Amino acid sequence: SAAVRFRRYQGTERTEVGPGLGRYRTDMAENDDVIGDDPLIDGMSLSVRLRYDFAVSDASRLLRAARRIYQDLNPRASADEAEAMVTCAADALFVVLEHAGLFGESVDKRLAGYRDAGLEVGGFLAQVVPNEPRPLSVATRGDCFRTEDVFALPADTSGD
């Protein structure tokens, strides 16, 4: 099982991250729980929450690249259409992520192929959050000690 397991070893937690992936030390709250090790049951609902954080190093270059990628994904699209369709950070990021195979029509088709194996695709939701105040670390296991919900949206500071 690729479940994440928390176990206590001489006052320090070690997290097993699935077969062959080893263990590393963490300072998690005291428990001996196994997270993600629930038995499969007919009719159960499963949700996967993924988070990727990105830093934009060159906005104009990213926008140009995203528009080219849009045309790659939509071969009949003109440069003018790509410019009209990819106008902001969210547009650029969604085009890049679709091209990278993280979501989109091709992913939906591949996931639908698991229906005969007993897995039906439910809904899909993606949201771009600009200016995340506490982005995830690029360092391996750099976020192991974070105690806040890394999936919680930042507080609205706009004053509305």
pLDDT per residue, tens digit, the chain (160 aa), is 344 443 333 334 444 444 444 443 344 444 445 556 788 899 988 888 888 899 999 999 999 999 999 999 999 999 999 999 999 999 999 999 999 999 888 899 999 999 999 999 988 888 888 888 888 877 766 666 677 787 787 777 666 5
17, 23 in Cβ contact below 8 A?
Answer: yes
Structure tokens at 60: 């104009």
Summary count for the chain: helices (H), strands (E)? 4, 4
- What pLDDT is attached to residue 151? 77
Global confidence as pTM: 0.66
58, 33 in Cβ contact below 8 A?
Answer: no
**137: Cβ contacts below 8 Å, ≥ 6 apart:** 143
3, 38 in Cβ contact below 8 A?
Answer: no
Q: Give the residue from 87, 56, 90, 86 showing the smallest Cα distance to 69.
A: 86
